[in-house]
Structure 1
Amino acid sequence: MRPLPFVSACLLGLGLAASAAAAPAPATATRLDHILLWGHGIDQVTSVMAVKLGFQVRPGRDPDGVANRYVRLADSSFIEVLGITRPDPKFDPGMKEDQQALKGGPGSRAFGFRSSALDAIRSSLQAKHYAVTPFFSGPDSAKPGWRLFAFDKAPLSSNTFFIDYKADYAPDQFDPGNSGDHRVTREHPNGARELTSIWLVSADADADRQQLEKMGFGHAVPVKLPELGAKGFCVPVGPTALLALQADGAGLAAQAMAAGPRILGVSFGVTDLGRAQRWVERGYERKLATYRGLSGESVLAPTVDDLGLSIEFHAMKAGASPCPAMGS
C-alpha cells in the first residue's frame, strides 16, 4: 500500500492528542461532513473566518508546527482550518501533498462524507474494486471518538474520506457533558447554521459525476453557476449537495483551475442573509450584490485571495431539496 494521501492530516484535524456483495452504498444515510482548509497561517485564517466572515473559531492543537482550529455548525458539520506555525513544520505525507498541490498557499483539496454505515459503505466500495484503506480511529485507542477510511487512489478530483463519530465525541470542549457549552460553540455572529454544499472543480465535471454515481450517489442534476463561471452537476448527499463543476468561460472556476483541481467553494445556510451580508461587507469594506443561487437568495464573499476558495451564504429554507428540481 502506498502512503495514504491525506489520512494523517485528517487524524490531526479530528483532535489527535497523542467482503460483501456489490450492493449500492447507503447514500441516504450519508451527508457531507467537513472540509480541511489551509490558510496563509493559522492566525491569518482564524482572523479571516472570525473578523471578515463572522464565524466563531474554536481551539484545536499544534503538534509539530501545523495547527488546527474548528468552525462548528449546528447541523454537526464543520470546517477544519490548518496553518503552519513555525519555519520547519513536520509534514506527514498528506500534508506534504496538500502543500505541494496548493504551492504553499491557501485552499482546500480534501473533504469528508459522514455516515453511521461505514462498514457497509466500505464493503460496497471494495466490491466495486475501489482501493480503500483500513479503518483509522482516534483520538486514542483507549477512548476512540471517531473512525474513518479513505482511498489509496482518490476516485474524485479532490481527495475524500468517509467518517463517523461517537455520540459523545466533542474535541473542542473541555467538558463534553456541558450541553450549554456545546450549544454556544455552534452559534455564529453571521447566523450560519448549516453546511449545505461543497463545490469541486476539475477539467471534467462528468468524470466526477460518474464516479459519484458508481459510489452510490446518483440523481445528479445539471447546473450552471454564472457567478462562478462554472457548469456541471449537483449531486444530492442526504440533506447536503456535492457540486461537480468545470469552468464555463472566464470566472472564478477558470482561475481556480489554473492551479489545478480543488474545492472551489462551500455554501452555508444562515438565519438572516442581510446580517451575513452586512458582516462580510464590513469585513471586506465593499458592497456586495445578492443573486439567485442554487439554494435561493445568496451572497458570495470575496474570499479567494484569503482562503483560496469561495464562501457563499444563503437564506435557510425549511424542507428545501439539496439540488434544484428535486422532488418537483
Structure 2
Amino acid sequence: MRLLLAFILLFGICQPAITATPAPATQSELDHVLLWGQSIDQVTAIMAVKLGFQIRPGRDPNGVANRYVRFSDRSYIELEGITRSNATMDPGMLADQAVLHGGPGARTFGLRSSALDQARSLLQRDGFTPTPIFSASRTDPDGGGPSRPPRWRLFAFQHQPLTSNLFFIDYAPSNTTSFSHADDRVAREHPNSARELSAVWLLSATADVDRRQLERLGYAKAKPIRIPQIAARGYCVPVGGKSIFVLEPDGAGIAARALHEGGPQILGLSIGVDDLPRAKRWAERGYETTLASYRGVLGHAFLAPTRTDLGLLIEFHEMSKTVSKDACGG
C-alpha cells in the first residue's frame, strides 16, 4: 500500500478553482495518517516508550519499513522509516523525503469510504482529478489469498485539493477466526488507554482555502476555532464522527515556526483516550517534564511535546462520556 500511497505525493499540491457546487464524498471517516520517523526504530521507541502506545509489526520489502498504531475504532497511524542506505523508493517517497529533508513528520492522510466508487464519481463530476482506483495485490502476504477480494482499494488525486495530501481508501471484510479476532482486539489496546484517532491538524498560510476545499469535497458545517497553545486559528470541519482542523498561524508561536520551517503540513493529531491522567503521566515520565492541561476543541486535553522528535504534535483528549458527540466540540 505504501508504494501506491506515494503516488499522492508525486503530483505536488495544486488548488483547483473554487465553485459553488459541493462534491460530497459519501459515507467517509477519518482513517489513518502516514508518519515518517528519522528511522523506524526511532519513531517506534518514541511512540511506545515516551507516549505509551502499543506498536504492531509491519513489513520491510525494499528498505522502507512500516509499523502500526491501531485503535479500537479501526483508525490507525502508520509509522514509516528507512532501514538501509540503498532503500528502493519510488518518486513519491523521494519527493516526501525531499520535503522532510530526511527528518520526521507527516504530509499525507486518508479517509475511509464504504462507497469508494461512488465517492470517486462524485468528485470527478465536480471538477476534482481523482486517480484510477488501485487495489492490493492478489498475492498480498497480509491478504486472504487470490480467491478473496483485495485487502484494500484506494484512489488519490492527480492535483491535490488540500494543502496536505489526501487519499480515499476502503477495505475488504475481514475473514477472521475466533483466534484472529481475539488477537486483533488485543492489538488495539494501549497502555496509555488510547481509543481513536480523533482529528488531523492541517497547517497552511490561509486556513480558509482548505476550509472551502473541504466544503467542495462535501464536508461543510465548519466551526471557527482557536488553539492558543500553539498560536493557531482556523476551523474544525466534521468528517463523519471525527474532525479535520484547518489552521493558520495566529501570531508568533509554534504554528508560525512550523510553517516557516516546513511549509504546509500535518502539524498535529488528536488522540482520544479513556484515562486522560494516565496518558498525561505516561508522557510526563517519557519527556521528563510537567505538562499543562487545558480545555481544547475536543474537551479536556494536554499536548505532548513531540514536535522535535516526531515532526508533529500529539494532543491527547478525554473521550466523550455521552452517547452522541459533536465532532467539533460542545
**Alignment map for 1:1-328 (pairs within 5 Å):** 6-7=6-7, 24-27=23-26, 29-140=27-138, 142=146, 143=148, 144-168=150-174, 178-258=180-260, 259-317=262-320, 318=322, 319-324=324-329
Deviation at 1:7, TM superposition (A): 3.3
Is the Cα contact below 8 Å between 2:25 and 2:123 reproduced in 1? no
**2:142 corresponding residue in structure 1:** none
Is the Cα contact below 8 Å between 1:5 and 1:152 reproduced in 2? no
CA distance in 2, matches of 1:158, 1:255: 17
CA distance in 2, matches of 1:316, 1:260: 31
Distance 1:116 1:89, change over 3 A: same
Deviation at 1:9, TM superposition (A): 8.7
Is the Cα contact below 8 Å between 2:25 and 2:217 reproduced in 1? no
CA distance in 2, matches of 1:131, 1:69: 30
**Could you tell me which amino acid in structure 1 is paired with residue 283 of structure 2?**
V
**Could you tell me which amino acid in structure 1 is paired with residue 66 of structure 2?**
N
Deviation at 1:117, TM superposition (A): 1.0
Aligned partner of residue 178 in structure 1, secondary structure: helix
- After superposing the two structures, state which structure 1 stretch, 213-222 or 247-256, moved more: 247-256
Is the Cα contact below 8 Å between 1:146 and 1:169 reproduced in 2? no
TM-score (norm 2): 0.89
CA distance in 1, matches of 2:104, 2:69: 17
Q: Deviations over 1:42-81 (max 9, x none)?
A: 0000000000000000000001110000000001000000
Residue segments in structure 1 that go unaligned for 5+ positions in a row: 11-21
CA distance in 2, matches of 1:292, 1:120: 38
List structure 1 runs of 4+ shifted beyond 6 angstroms. none
Is the Cα contact below 8 Å between 1:118 and 1:163 reproduced in 2? yes
**Could you tell me which amino acid in structure 1 is paired with residue 130 of structure 2?**
V
CA distance in 1, matches of 2:113, 2:281: 35
Matched residue pairs, number? 307
Aligned partner of residue 326 in structure 2, secondary structure: coil
Deviation at 1:26, TM superposition (A): 4.4
Aligned partner of residue 317 in structure 2, secondary structure: strand
Is the Cα contact below 8 Å between 1:145 and 1:169 reproduced in 2? no
Aligned partner of residue 229 in structure 2, secondary structure: coil
**1:16 corresponding residue in structure 2:** none
Is the Cα contact below 8 Å between 1:139 and 1:146 reproduced in 2? no
**Could you tell me which amino acid in structure 2 is paired with residue 168 of structure 1?**
S
Distance 1:43 1:5, change over 3 A: closer
TM-score (norm 1): 0.89
**Could you tell me which amino acid in structure 1 is paired with residue 304 of structure 2?**
A
CA distance in 2, matches of 1:273, 1:41: 29
Is the Cα contact below 8 Å between 1:8 and 1:93 reproduced in 2? no
CA distance in 1, matches of 2:161, 2:63: 30
Deviation at 1:205, TM superposition (A): 0.6
CA distance in 1, matches of 2:125, 2:179: 40
- After superposing the two structures, state which structure 1 stretch, 205-214 or 85-94, moved more: 85-94
CA distance in 1, matches of 2:265, 2:25: 26
Deviation at 1:252, TM superposition (A): 1.7
CA distance in 2, matches of 1:62, 1:116: 29
Deviation at 1:90, TM superposition (A): 1.1
Residue segments in structure 2 that go unaligned for 5+ positions in a row: 11-20, 140-145
Distance 1:44 1:60, change over 3 A: same
